[in-house]
Amino acid sequence: MRAVAFHRPGPPDVLEVLDLPDPEPGPGQVRVRVRAAGVQPVDTAIRRGVRLGFEVASPQVLGNDFAGTVDVLGEGVTSVAVGDAVLGWSLMACYAEFVVVGVEQIVPRPAGMPWEHAGVLASSAQTAHTALRTLRVGEGDTVLVHAAAGGVGTFAVQMARAWGAAVLGTCGEANADHVRALGAVPVRHGEGLADGVRAAAPEGVDAALDMVGGETLRVSVELVKDRERVGTIVDYPGAAELGAWGSGRGGRSSGCGRSWSCTSGGRCGCTCPARSRWRRRPRRTGCRSCGGHGGSWRWSWGSEAGSRSGSVPRPGSGVPAGQPTVFSVS
């Protein structure tokens, strides 16, 4: 099979298309022919050489989420059939023509969902779901979502609205109509952000989700009374300094624990303490909240869901933080 991988970390030019052996499914697994794979900020970080707590192979295939069709069934698999359209996740394996996963790592692709949207659903929607649950977002809250026009932001706005919250979404002027269509009140990011939020929400903000970091996180802490209801998915040192919530830091949460993810690989939407981060070895198996498989996959896709995505000629090149995209395998 063809796969996109690198032998040494570096700029986008280190990525190359390699011929690798076709993987074969074992018991309880399926092989999926990949139609689209998400290109997430974590992929670009690993390609650049950022150490994220696991050993990088040589060659190292990238990609953690995918969409495609079931190609081969492993022994004992009866829940899916060859030809089924699915989406799912697999750790550092998805920039390839084929990926082998356990049946618990896939779900049916919703009818009508474009491959390009399905290819980013596992990471972007999961991150939004887990973050909002950890920040205890619910009925009657006013929530500030930064980078609301990005992949995670697009899902976060819709989920928060579906759970009964009012949402302010920071964005650039060009994305204001998109953010408004998702159900949020757009607020211009950059200089004057705090004043803009106060003007849009005179009674205050109950929670904030940051996908930018730095000064944006500081403004969020300034605006929200309870710092444990301020979360970031990008600025963990800033979260530690300011007393906010960041991936792996913990803090109060709903569900059964304090961290972002569980032993299902960080995709279940619970907050089980089985892992401090999805990439590390679990300290125990299963999760008291989701049983190790989780329910965030049940989030339904609507006409406005999905990140704004498109094909890129070189996966992993120049993808800014918080802006997932996809590449298609043809």
Domain ranges in the chain are: 2-122+304-328, 137-252
Instruction: Verify cis geometry, omega within 30 degrees of 0, for the bond prior to 59.
Output: yes
Give the angle 260-318-87 at the CA atoms, nearest 5°. 50
Q: Are 182 and 188 in contact (CB under 8 A)?
A: no
Q: Residue 43: its pLDDT value, please? A: 84
In this structure, what token pair is assigned to residue 124?
A: 């972007």
pLDDT for the residue 302: 27
Residues of the chain with pLDDT under 50: 248-330
Contact 12, 327 (CB under 8 A): no
Cβ atoms 260, 134 nearer than 8 A: yes
| Size (the chain), residues | 330
Task: Output the CATH code of domain 2-122+304-328.
Answer: 3.90.180.10
Q: At a CB cut-off of 8 Å and minimum separation 6, what does 41 contact?
A: 234, 319, 320, 321, 322, 323, 324
Per-residue pLDDT, 184 = 98
pLDDT of res. 314: 27
CATH class of the domain comprising 137-252: alpha beta
Run of H or E residues at 86: strand 85-89
Identify the helix (H) or strand (E) that includes residue 215: helix 215-223
Between CA 161 and CA 70, with CA 67 as vertex, the angle to 5 degrees is 135
